[in-house]
Amino acid sequence: MDFSGRFLLSMIQFAAVRGSDQEQLITMSGHDLAYLSDEENRILPAVYNRIIEHCVDTTQDNFFGLHAGEYLNLAAAGLIGQISQTSSTVKEALEYCCEFAALGCQALPMNLEQTMEGYRLEVIPNASWENESPIAVQQTLEGTMAFFLREFHFLTIQKYYPLEVGFKYPQENRNEELERVFKCPIRHNQSVSYMLLSTEQVEAKIITSDFKLLRILVEHAEAKLEKMSGDEGIYHQVRKAILNLSEPCFPTIETVAANMNVSVRSLQRKLAVESTTYKEVIDDLRKEMALKYLDQNALNVQEVSDLLGYADVSSFSRSFKKWTNLSPRAYRQAN
């Protein structure tokens, strides 16, 4: 039972976004950044447990793992995109996702089974790990299930949610935040932790043309995140969260605030200090992405509108003209 260095580094980097000292966490691992960056390098359970417990403590976020699972969706998008290329149905792709999950965390195997109620994803932590660090297990399990839901959204290109989610451990007043993420009934004290998905949604065919668009969105988001790696301030923190939480549409301010472990009102106040609003952050991103997408001749205006989450082309055209004084087609012809 062990963990990949890359898996632990992802958790460390998320903790750093939330205020933890990244260098301190790396030092606690007993390795350097280069070692942790290699997914083939392994981390012992005792080290992983100590760091996750420290992350929960320093971020003061009892849902650290859940929020990490929400936030880190783009990290595997390239792999999931490749899986989709070779899978004819969502079910086939999800089975690959379960298989590949062991690359990051051998202690948390996942299995997708068909039942009378739907497809049941079971997540069964290693028994000895549960005894060693219940906190690390719970945080990692919730994060893994939130991440799997992001994979499901990516594969279906839809905001489908589970029929229900069950956890082995007691309720502990956690349902409100769990329901926000999974948007379904939450069961506790179950024999095993699981996520129940609709048979129709799981057995749906993968539409390759939609993936072409979504991969472009993901690639652009990852490029922007790389450029923003050294930026400070709430404006840039919110931009990063929006890019990471897009799946495939932009997240609401409620989603971003909850993931950042602050209230909506607090987030609005922090943005106001920098003389901006959540809507302005979204509009800035849409404008930048629109200009980028229109420079790609492979995309037509309708596809650009879809990528940016507009209800129709006319709505997109009105926004674009407000930004540039040109229609999308006129801009493309002028460039």
Summarised one tens digit per residue, pLDDT across range 316-329 is 899 889 888 989 88
The rounded distance, in Å, linking the Cα atoms of 185 and 170 is 15
Q: What is the mean pLDDT of residues 180-184?
A: 94
**At 213, is the pLDDT very low, low, confident or very high (cuts 50, 70, 90)?**
low
Domain limits, CATH 1.10.10.60, in the chain: 208-334
The rounded distance, in Å, linking the Cα atoms of 330 and 323 is 13
**How much is the pLDDT for 209?**
46
The rounded distance, in Å, linking the Cα atoms of 3 and 39 is 9
pLDDT in tens, 36-82: 988 788 899 999 999 999 999 999 999 999 999 988 755 454 555 56
**At 207, is the pLDDT very low, low, confident or very high (cuts 50, 70, 90)?**
low
Q: Domain 3-202 class?
A: alpha beta
pTM of the model: 0.76
Q: Bridge partners of 3?
A: 43, 105
**How much is the pLDDT for 79?**
58
Mean of pLDDT over the chain: 84
Number of Cβ within 10 Å of residue 112's Cβ equals 18
Select the more confidently predicted residue: 90 or 75: 90
- Pick the closest to residue 259 from 143, 108, 165 (CA basis): 143
The rounded distance, in Å, linking the Cα atoms of 251 and 134 is 31
Q: What is the mean pLDDT of residues 303-316?
A: 83
pLDDT in tens, 125-165: 988 898 999 999 999 999 999 989 988 887 887 778 999 99
The rounded distance, in Å, linking the Cα atoms of 59 and 270 is 18
Q: What is the mean pLDDT of residues 88-92?
A: 87
**Range of weakest confidence among 21-30, 145-154, 202-211:** 202-211
Write the CATH number of the domain with boundaries 208-334: 1.10.10.60
Q: What is the mean pLDDT of residues 198-226?
A: 65
Contact (Cβ atoms closer than 8 angstroms) between residue 165 and residue 182:
yes
Contact (Cβ atoms closer than 8 angstroms) between residue 147 and residue 141:
no
Alpha helices of the chain — where are they, by DSSP H? 5-17, 22-29, 33-37, 45-59, 64-71, 77-85, 90-101, 127-132, 134-156, 175-182, 199-202, 208-227, 234-245, 253-259, 264-273, 278-294, 301-307, 313-324, 328-334
Alpha carbon 108 to its chain's center: 18
Domain limits, CATH 3.90.1520, in the chain: 3-202
**How much is the pLDDT for 31?**
94
